[in-house]
Each structure stands twice: as C-alpha cells, then as structure tokens.
Amino acid sequence: MNSYIEKVDFFKGNDPEAIAKEYGTPVYVCSEEIIRKHMHDVSQVIIKYPYTANYSVKANTNIHILKLALEEGLNCDAMSVGEIKMLEAAGFPYDRIFFIPNNVSDEEMQYAIERGIMTSLDSLSQLKQFGELNRGGKCAVRINPGVGAGHCEKVVTGGKKTKFGIAEEDIPEIFEICKEYDLTIAGINQHIGSGFMTPDPYLQAVDNLLRIALQFKDLEFIDFGGGYGIPYHKLEDDEADYPMEDFKKRLEPILDYFVDSYGKAPLFKSEPGRYCVAEGVVLLGRVHAVKQNAGHAYAGCDIGMNVLVRPSMYDSWHDVEVLRAGKVVSRDSLETITLCGNICESGDLLAKDRKLPKIEKGDLVALLDAGAYGWSMCSTYNSRPRPAEVMVMKDGSVKLIRRRETYEDLMRLF
Ligand code: LLP
C-alpha cells in the first residue's frame, strides 16, 4: 500500500500541513469515523447471547473518545481511580464501569465500593482486602486461564510468567474467603495479553475459563478480556486485519457448549482497547534535522519517546508516511533511514533503518496506528509538555480535543 492516509481519506479533505500549523507539532490527529467504526465492530462480537463490549480505557482516555464509546453503546473497564474519574467526566453511569485494578490500596478500593462499581479482585490477598472493606458484598475475580499471548513478552498477562490473576489451583481458597466474608462472586474475568493477530490463544483461554466457570454457581457475567490486534505493518507488508469474522464463527460453538452445560447464559463480556482506537489516530511530527552519522542516515523530528514510547519500550513498529506541502510523498523511490526524536536518549528511535521516501528538513512525518497507548503513555521527560490532540469529525470539521500542555502547566506542581 502506498498510503493508508490516502486510502481511507484520513483527513477528510483537510490539509495536514494546515492542521500542523494551527495546532503545532507533535499532534495526535483522531478520526471520529474510524474510531466509531471499530467501536461498533467490537459491539458485535457476540450476537446470540447477552453481551457487552467493555472499551478498555487505558488504551486512550481522552474524554471525547470516551464519549464516542458511550454513544456507541459500549461499557468500559477501568484500571485505576483516575480512569474511573475520566469515565465519570465523560458521563458513564457506574453500572457501565467494570473496575479491574491490580495491587490497589484500601482507599482506591473504597472509591469503587462507595459508588457500587463492580470490582474484580486479582489475587487472594486483594479478595480478602475487599472482604474486610465490604463484608457481605458482591465482586468478581480475575482468573489466570493458564494461556498468554501478545505482541511482545512485556504485554503477556496470562500463563505462568505474569503478576496477574488467580491461578486455577487457588480457586478453592476463593470459596473459603467468600465464606469468611460472606462475599458473592458475581462474575469472573481474564485478560491474556495484548496485540495478538491470531484468535487461537484467545479461543483456548475462553475454553479454559468456561471450564473453570463451571465451578462457580450462578455467575451473572463472564468476561474474556481484550487483546485483539491491529495490522501495524499495513504499508510495507500489507498485513491483514485481525480475522474478526473467523474469530466470531469459532467462538460461537464454544459458547453454545458452555451454555448447554451451565444451564443458562450469563452476560458475556470482552474488553478491547487497542482494537477500538489504534487505527483511528495518526501522530504528526515535524522533521527539524537530517544527517549522516558513520554512514547511517537519520531524520530527527519532534516526536520524542515522551510523545510515543511504544517503539523504545517494546520495539514496536509504527508505519511512517512522509508528507510534504500537505501531500503524501510517494513510496516509489525509497532509501534506508532511521527516524528519531528529540530526547536525550540513544533509544529515542521511532523507526530504525526503515525504507522511506527521501526525508527533507521541514517535512511532516505521520506515524500510523498511534491511537492506542500513544497519548495515554506520554510523559514530560526532558521537561517537554505533552502534545495536543485534535479530532477530524464525521462532517469534516476539525476539533481540538485536548490542548497542548504549556510550560506553565509543568511549573504548576511546584
Ligand atoms: N483488559 C485488561 C485487564 C487489560 O490489562 C488490558 C490491557 C486490556 C483489557 C486491553 O487490551 P487491548 O485490547 O488494548 O490489547 N502498552 C501496551 C499494551 C498494554 C496492555 C495493557 N492491558 C502497548 O502499547 O502495546
């Protein structure tokens, strides 16, 4: 593919150069249409049985994006009190929030308990803590289904090498704690990892979780977690989408078998984050320098690892398009170059030894698929204010949805 931006008409006729000039760079540009489409897709994963898709807000907590999730009928999962507060601000009622924290304090747990937010406990220790705080209460437990998957080891959250979830062999202790504190287990959940492109490990985990579910009486819900990947290698390798239709077809008989054995269908849930938002956001940056160093070509832009940490943190790949005078430069003639940021770290590389059209000082670079774990993982490292976010609306207008941080904002805490 020569250009994803052109293929999907990402900017809806707006000039990206004008957006960059008006809002400055780096700037995250979101597409209302693409995000809504992906949110709609995940709401259709299970049709035959009661089902809700919970958008996993850690991928992108911009309140305007949360409002799209609300309008598309999604529920949400939150991992922290901060994320619950973002959901409150977006207008989510508490019964549409599922709190799935990890290693939280009494105060954090209490925040959810006081608001009646369904909470999942991730260890026997946190289940006891919940019992102490809310004797006679209702909650969920996060089970480790023994299977993990993800785009790299750091994002695998199921299986033997992870801090998450309660192992199958510890389930008898769950029942003991419930008895001691008079707790009711309303649901069980899992999350095996993030960014897998084949449904096999997820289906295996669903199968395992449903087998485990038979040990729990009267479950109101079973949550299979998120993790559906997106094709980050779309430009150079024409990578295919996550096979959603095939996945749905293979999921249905597994659910049928369970519903038959359990005698009823609880509410099924999934928890996609990345799939909802990644492809609907492009990150624009300005190239400020080009140079050769010991035979290697570098282009230096204003997207540092503080703005998009995924390449330095996980060696993640983001396709890059080069824009000059508002137009995508064709990929007909390519050269090898490393695109880097403006942060004082050798690991501040966005795209290493990449085949790209010749880059000139003053060009814009567009990093694709930046909507998930992009802004939400930004930092102010090197005292750089965090970037603005804008949204290209369905009607083609462009709206500022988060202003750029200022130096005054950085000083505010002193
Ligand atoms: N549910 C739970 C309990 C999770 O921990 C996560 C992600 C999700 C759902 C959503 O997973 P998704 O559908 O987005 O794959 N920062 C990493 C990804 C970390 C994922 C953390 N948990 C990255 O940039 O690839």
Report the alpha-carbon distance of residue 147 to residue 202 in Å, rounded.
8
Average of per-residue pLDDT values in the chain:
97
Among the listed residues 90, 89, 126, the one whose alpha carbon sits nearest the alpha carbon of residue 108: 126
- Of all residues in the chain, the percent with pLDDT exceeding 70 is 100
372 CA to centre of ligand 1 in angstroms: 9
Name which residue sits closest to atom 3 of ligand 1, judged by CA: 191
Parse the chain into domains and list their residue ranges: 4-28+278-411, 32-277
226 CA to centre of ligand 1 in angstroms: 7
**What DSSP state is assigned to residue 239?**
P
Marked catalytic residue, from 152, 301, 344, 378: 344
Report the alpha-carbon distance of residue 193 to residue 225 in Å, rounded.
8
Which residues have CB under 8 Å from 127's CB, separation 6+? 121, 139, 141, 166, 174, 177, 178, 183
Name which residue sits closest to atom 5 of ligand 1, judged by CA: 191
Q: Please state the φ and ψ torsions of residue 164, each to the nearest 5 degrees.
A: -95, 150
Q: What separation in angstroms does the CA of 207 have from each of 28, 147, 263?
A: 38, 10, 17
Q: Rounded mean pLDDT of 191-217?
A: 95
Query: Probe ligand 1: pick from 75, 79, 143, 194, max atoms within 8 Å of CB?
Result: 194
336 CA to centre of ligand 1 in angstroms: 32
Q: Report which ligand 1 atom has the smallest distance to the Cα of 189.
A: 3
- Is residue 158 within 8 Å of residue 149, measured between CB atoms? yes
- Is residue 218 within 8 Å of residue 265, measured between CB atoms? no
Which position has the token pair 């002193």?
414
Give the model's pLDDT for residue 311.
98
| Annotated catalytic residue 344 | yes
Q: Report which ligand 1 atom has the smallest distance to the Cα of 100.
A: 3
383 CA to centre of ligand 1 in angstroms: 27
Among the listed residues 35, 31, 92, 2, the one whose alpha carbon sits nearest the alpha carbon of residue 393: 31
Report the alpha-carbon distance of residue 267 to residue 186 in Å, rounded.
11
Query: Probe ligand 1: pick from 77, 83, 191, max atoms within 8 Å of CB?
Result: 191
Q: Report which ligand 1 atom has the smallest distance to the Cα of 151.
A: 25
Query: Probe ligand 1: pick from 38, 41, 56, max atoms within 8 Å of CB?
Result: 56
Among the listed residues 53, 343, 352, the one whose alpha carbon sits nearest the alpha carbon of residue 221: 53
Q: Rounded mean pLDDT of 129-141?
A: 98
- Is residue 191 within 8 Å of residue 176, measured between CB atoms? no
- pLDDT bin (cut points 50, 70, 90) of residue 181 is very high
Name which residue sits closest to atom 16 of ligand 1, judged by CA: 373
Secondary structure element (H or E) that encloses residue 209, with its range: helix 200-213
Q: Which CATH superfamily is domain 32-277 in?
A: Alanine racemase (3.20.20.10)
Give the model's pLDDT for residue 332.
94
Report the alpha-carbon distance of residue 140 to residue 124 in Å, rounded.
12
Which position has the token pair 């959810």?
112
Give the model's pLDDT for residue 145.
87
Angle between helices 32-42 and 63-71 (to 10 degrees): 50
Kindly tell me if the per-residue pLDDT of 159 is higher than 90.
Answer: no
Q: What separation in angstroms does the CA of 66 have from each of 77, 87, 352?
A: 11, 7, 33
Kindly tell me if the per-residue pLDDT of 3 is higher than 90.
Answer: yes
pLDDT digit string (tens) for 272-321? Answer: 999 999 999 999 999 999 999 999 999 999 999 999 999 999 999 999 99
Give me the DSSP letters along 285-332: EEEEEEEEETTEEEEEES--TTT--HHHHH-----EEEEETTEEPPSS
Least confident window among 117-126, 156-165, 212-221, 333-342: 156-165
Gyration radius of the chain's alpha carbons: 22
**Tell me, what amino acid is at 370?**
A
Give me the DSSP letters along 131-163: HHHSTT-EEEEEEE-S----SSGGGB-SSSS-S
Give the model's pLDDT for residue 343.
98
pLDDT digit string (tens) for 376-401? Answer: 999 999 999 999 999 999 999 999 99
Residues having CB closer than 6 A to ligand 1 are 56, 58-59, 77, 100, 155, 157, 191, 194-195, 225-228, 271-275, 310, 314, 372-373
Q: Report which ligand 1 atom has the smallest distance to the Cα of 316.
A: 25
- What global pTM score does this model have? 0.97
Kindly tell me if the per-residue pLDDT of 147 is higher than 90.
Answer: no
Largest distance between two CA atoms of the chain: 69
362 CA to centre of ligand 1 in angstroms: 35
- pLDDT bin (cut points 50, 70, 90) of residue 236 is confident
Kindly tell me if the per-residue pLDDT of 375 is higher than 90.
Answer: yes
Give the model's pLDDT for residue 274.
98
Among the listed residues 214, 215, 193, the one whose alpha carbon sits nearest the alpha carbon of residue 204: 193
Q: Report which ligand 1 atom has the smallest distance to the Cα of 313.
A: 24
Domain 4-28+278-411 class in CATH: mainly beta
Give the model's pLDDT for residue 135.
98
Strand partners, 120: 140
Compute how many other C-beta atoms are within 10 angstroms of the C-beta atom of residue 307.
29
42 CA to centre of ligand 1 in angstroms: 15
Name which residue sits closest to atom 19 of ligand 1, judged by CA: 155
Report the alpha-carbon distance of residue 124 to residue 200 in Å, rounded.
29
275 CA to centre of ligand 1 in angstroms: 10
